[in-house]
Structure 1
Amino acid sequence: MTQPYVKQSIQDQVATIEFFHPAHNSLPGDILAKLADTITETGKNDEVLVIILKSGGERTFCAGASFKELINIKDEVEGEKFFMGFANVINAMRKCPKFIIGRVQGKTVGGGVGLASAMDYCMATKFAAIKLSELNIGIGPFVVGPAVQRKLGVSGMSQIAIDANSFYSPEWAMQKGLFTKVYDSTEELDEAIAEFAQNLCGYNPEAVKEMKQMFWRGTEDWDELLNERAKISGRLVLSEFTKKKLKRFA
């Protein structure tokens, strides 16, 4: 299937939410909106005890924001709306009362690192190098920054945000706490995730909900904070610097 999609399947009380885009799983506004809605709805479903979030394809988990859409942003309102797409997904994950397991099978860039950081428990393969590339095009990881900083600390986050040209290894990401385990193959990753998800299904859903709130304590202002950050990115994406850079990438 080469068309972009967000799909969900439920088996043995485990929901799998998968997104895909032919451009290296980059995320345009409509896919972000569908992803946020699907996570929210799945969180309300009493038949589901655990959520696995994954992307389609082989070697790229997520290439971040859709460059095609970034280039076409005409004003600050459009810019804010686009970046709010990432904010809405992160906030949906934060508020979801179920644990969300991340399956990161390959390279992860920009907003994709934000998604991985908002998982409650994230597992990866040895191909899952990460990069925060936003500074390269004249913006910064403002919207995903709080989620990334929460996982990597200020030191780790600032390191990859400033060094916007470099991929950091999955081992580095594991040392910093973004990934819990790194596997040699996608097959091993999938086996481990399936087993782990089944184990989580044996937990008391009430305890899980309370623990999730405990883990995310201190993020209650993120609805406002990420909106403010989306405004910053929406403004910067219109700068001459960024317009020139985006033309080059296009």
Structure 2
Amino acid sequence: MLTPDKNGTLLTTIENKIATVQFGHPASNSFPRVLLDRLTNELTFLSDNPEISVIVLKSEGTGAFCAGASFDELLAVSTLEEGTRFFSGFANLINAMRTCKKIIVGRIHGKAVGGGVGIAAACDYALATSESAIKLSELAIGIGPFVIEPAVSRKIGKMAMSEMALDAHEWKSASWAHQKGLFAKIVNSQEELDKEVVAFSRKLALYNPEALYEIKKVFWEGTAHWDKLLKERAAISGKLVLSDFTKNALIK
């Protein structure tokens, strides 16, 4: 499936029981709402596909892995309803990743900001390069990483999460992310990353798919309330994005 360029791209290929889902957008692989919805729907569809055992999630190009929310769409938000609806896109995506019946392997080739960090955290296993620095910049623009916080805290803990959130202008290195548990492994180049992703996903695809699903349910125990929680968090962000502080920060 390939989406129009103006809303970004989404392409899925399936081979040897592995579905590779690649998203992209000209603005550093950021997410307009349309692309968020398409990725969410694609993961939901693949979840019930008996022909696949593993999903590899990746993004286009050699630059950023994901720059998070589309600034253009954030600037266009004019009502609480619009703001809540926009941030619900990330809530829906994280919940789709959480409830997906397939193990999701993240290929994090470059920097991740905001929602991009949340996506990496919602992967069941993330492989990255030494260039895969991360940042939660939301407080710097007057909002906060409310929707993605549960996914990030689940991986790296509340204290590391609070450090990132408050250091809103600071990048954390890939090594830091690896030490905290966000990345399972880091390598030196994208070529090495591709080899690692292929080798690991092929190994997983040989396992009993029922066992993979059962162990994934164990990984995500205690998160059933996220359907409600993340929607509540989306409403907080939806309110804050209307503030003069945020509007001014976004146009600077």
TM-score computed with the length of structure 1 as normaliser? 0.98
Q: By how many angstroms is 1:205 displaced? A: 1.0
2:11 — aligned with what? 7
**Residue 133 in 1 paired to residue 142 in 2?**
no
* RMSD, aligned CA: 1.1
1:74 — aligned with what? 78
1:115 — aligned with what? 119
Q: By how many angstroms is 1:145 displaced? A: 0.5
Question: What CA deviation, in whole Å up to 9, does each residue of 1:161-200 have, x standing for no partner?
Answer: 0000001000000000000111111010001110111110
The number of aligned residues is 248
Please give the alpha-carbon distance, in whole angstroms, between the structure 1 residues aligned to 2:11 and 2:204. 22
Please give the alpha-carbon distance, in whole angstroms, between the structure 1 residues aligned to 2:246 and 2:28. 21
Matched AA of 1:198 = R
Please give the alpha-carbon distance, in whole angstroms, between the structure 1 residues aligned to 2:18 and 2:173. 29
Q: By how many angstroms is 1:246 displaced? A: 1.3
Identity %: 53
1:204 — aligned with what? 208
Greater mean alpha carbon deviation, residues 217-226 or residues 203-212: 203-212
Gaps of 5+ in 1: none
Matched AA of 2:125 = Y
2:224 — aligned with what? 220
Structure 1 ranges of 4+ moved more than 2 A: none
1:68-107 mapped onto 2 (5 Å cutoff): 68-107=72-111
Query: 2:166 pairs with 137, 162, 166, which one?
Result: 162
Query: 2:156 pairs with 136, 152, 162, which one?
Result: 152
Q: By how many angstroms is 1:59 displaced? A: 1.9
Question: What secondary structure is seen at the aligned counterpart in 2 of 1:139?
Answer: coil
Question: What secondary structure is seen at the aligned counterpart in 2 of 1:166?
Answer: coil
Please give the alpha-carbon distance, in whole angstroms, between the structure 2 residues aligned to 1:246 and 1:25. 18
2:128 — aligned with what? 124
Query: 1:46 pairs with 46, 50, 57, which one?
Result: 50
TM-score computed with the length of structure 2 as normaliser? 0.97
Do the aligned partners of 1:59 and 1:127 also contact (CA within 8 Å) in 2?
A: no
Question: What CA deviation, in whole Å up to 9, does each residue of 1:57-86 have, x standing for no partner?
Answer: 102000000000000001000000000110
Q: By how many angstroms is 1:218 displaced? A: 0.6
Please give the alpha-carbon distance, in whole angstroms, between the structure 1 residues aligned to 2:111 and 2:205. 29
Please give the alpha-carbon distance, in whole angstroms, between the structure 2 residues aligned to 1:64 and 1:193. 23
Please give the alpha-carbon distance, in whole angstroms, between the structure 2 residues aligned to 1:247 and 1:61. 23
1:36 — aligned with what? 40
Matched AA of 2:109 = Q
2:28 — aligned with what? 24
Do the aligned partners of 1:151 and 1:177 also contact (CA within 8 Å) in 2?
A: yes
Gaps of 5+ in 2: none
